[in-house]
C-alpha cells in the first residue's frame, strides 16, 4: 500500500515540530566576523560596495569586536589597511603595523575573543599581488613563503590566536607551521584558505582593502572555478602540512565543494561568505526584491548545511542578534 500523500507534511505542521526535527543548526557560535582595520585615531570609513561595513580605526575595531563578542560571536578575522605600500609588502610583517597594533588592542580589551589574522601580502604590495613579483610578472612562490612566515610570526607575537594564510602559494601552510613551531608559537592555529577560487565575487573586498592587482590577475595561483577535484586535493595537502582548519572561499557558489571537502578531511571546515555574496543580498534587499533577514539566514544556513563548521560573514553580529 502506498504511503499517504500527506505523510511528509506531518512534521511541518507547527514551528515547534519544525524546530524539533531541524537537521542543520545555525548559531552565533558558528560565526566569525571579518573586519577591515585602518590606522587612525577615530575613523569609520564607509565601504560603498558593502553597505553597513566600514573600515575601522583601531579604537572602533576594539568596540566592534567587543559588540560581536557580547552577542556570542566567538571570533574576528582582521584585514589590515596600511598607510603605505611597497613591492615587498613590508607593512604585513611590521611589528608596529596596523594588524599587530589591532591584535594587541583587541586582545587587551577582550582576552577571551578569538582573534584571527589574514596572512597575505596583496593588501600591502604596491602592485596588489599576493606575493613578490619577479621581473617576468609572475609571483615568486618561495620568496613569498619567507615573507608570509614573517607575517605569521609578527601576528602571533602580537597575540593572534590564529593566522589565516590566504595567498594560495604552494607549501605556505608547511612554511608557516615550521616557522611558528621554531619560534615557540606551537599553539597558534592555522586556518588555511585551502580552496580559494579566482572568483568574480571578490570585487567589493578589493575596494575595501585596496587590493586589486595593478596588472594581470590571480588565476595563476587561485583555483579555477570549474575545478572541484583540485579543491579537494588542495585541502588534503594543507592538512598534511599542518592546517588546523581548512577553508572554502567563496561559499554560496561553492556549496558542493564545501560538502566534498568536509567528506574528505578530518579537520574542521570553514567557509567564507564573501563580499560579493554580501553585496548581492544587500542590494536585492535595498530594492525590496527579497526579505533581507530571511534571505541572510537562509544563505548562512545553506553554508552550514553543506558542511561548514565555521562561517565567516560580514552579517555575523546581526545574525547573532537575530538568533538570540
Catalytic residue among 107, 150, 186, 249: 249
Residues sharing a CB contact under 8 Å with residue 228, sequence separation 6 or more, in sequence order: 256, 257, 260
Q: What is the pLDDT of residue 131?
A: 86
Beta bridge partners of 118: 164
Neighbour tally for 286: CB within 10 Å = 11
Annotation marks residue 196 as catalytic: yes
Beta bridge partners of 273: 313
Tens-digit pLDDT profile for residues 212-242: 777 667 778 899 999 999 999 999 999 999 9
Annotation marks residue 150 as catalytic: no
Report the helix count and the strand count for the chain, using DSSP H and E: 11, 10
Tens-digit pLDDT profile for residues 88-138: 999 999 999 999 999 999 999 999 999 999 999 998 998 878 888 898 888
Looking at CATH, the fold of the domain delimited by 25-322 is given as TIM Barrel (3.20.20)
- Backbone dihedral region for residue 232 (phi beyond 0: left; psi -120 to 50: alpha; all else: beta): alpha
**Residue ranges of domains in the chain:** 25-322
Catalytic residue among 85, 107, 196, 262: 196
| Phi/psi at 64 (5° precision) | -65, -40
The burial class, CB within 10 Å (0-12 / 13-18 / 19+), for 34 is buried
Residues sharing a CB contact under 8 Å with residue 5, sequence separation 6 or more, in sequence order: none
3-17, 44-58, 169-183, 264-278: lowest mean pLDDT where?
3-17
Amino acid at each position: 500500500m502506498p504511503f499517504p500523500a500527506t505523510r511528509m507534511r506531518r512534521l511541518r505542521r507547527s514551528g515547534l515540530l519544525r524546530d524539533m526535527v531541524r537537521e542543520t543548526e545555525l548559531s552565533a557560535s558558528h560565526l566569525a566576523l571579518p573586519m577591515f582595520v585602518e590606522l587612525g585615531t577615530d575613523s569609520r570609513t564607509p565601504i560603498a560596495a558593502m553597505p553597513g561595513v566600514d573600515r575601522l580605526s583601531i579604537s572602533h575595531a576594539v568596540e566592534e569586536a567587543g559588540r560581536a563578542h557580547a552577542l556570542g560571536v566567538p571570533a574576528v578575522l582582521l584585514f589590515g589597511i596600511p598607510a603605505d605600500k611597497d613591492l615587498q609588502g613590508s607593512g604585513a610583517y611590521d611589528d608596529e603595523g596596523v594588524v599587530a597594533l589591532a591584535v594587541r588592542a583587541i586582545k587587551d580589551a577582550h582576552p577571551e575573543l578569538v582573534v584571527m589574522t589574514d596572512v597575505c601580502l596583496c593588501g600591502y604590495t604596491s602592485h596588489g599581488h599576493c606575493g613578490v613579483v619577479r621581473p617576468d610578472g609572475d609571483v615568486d612562490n618561495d620568496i613569498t613563503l619567507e615573507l608570509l612566515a614573517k607575517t605569521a610570526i609578527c601576528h602571533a607575537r602580537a597575540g593572534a590566536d590564529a593566522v589565516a594564510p590566504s595567498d594560495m602559494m604552494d607549501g605556505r601552510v608547511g612554511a608557516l607551521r615550521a616557522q611558528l613551531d621554531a619560534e615557540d608559537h606551537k599553539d597558534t592555529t592555522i586556518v588555511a584558505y585551502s580552496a580559494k577560487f579566482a572568483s568574480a565575487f571578490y570585487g567589493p573586498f578589493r575596494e575595501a582593502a585596496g587590493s586589486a592587482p595593478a596588472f594581470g590577475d590571480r588565476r595563476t595561483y587561485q583555483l579555477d572555478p570549474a575545478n572541484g577535484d583540485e579543491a579537494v586535493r588542495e585541502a588534503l595537502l594543507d592538512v598534511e602540512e599542518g592546517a588546523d582548519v581548512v577553508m572554502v572561499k567563496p561559499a554560496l557558489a561553492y556549496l558542493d565543494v564545501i560538502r566534498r571537502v568536509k567528506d574528505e578531511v578530518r579537520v574542521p571546515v570553514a567557509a567564507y561568505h564573501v563580499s560579493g555574496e554580501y553585496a548581492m543580498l544587500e542590494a536585492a534587499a535595498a530594492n525590496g526584491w527579497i526579505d533581507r533577514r530571511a534571505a541572510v539566514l537562509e544563505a548562512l544556513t545553506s553554508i552550514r548545511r553543506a558542511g561548514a563548521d565555521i562561517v565567516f560573514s560580514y552579517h555575523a553580529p546581526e545574525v547573532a542578534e537575530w538568533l538570540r
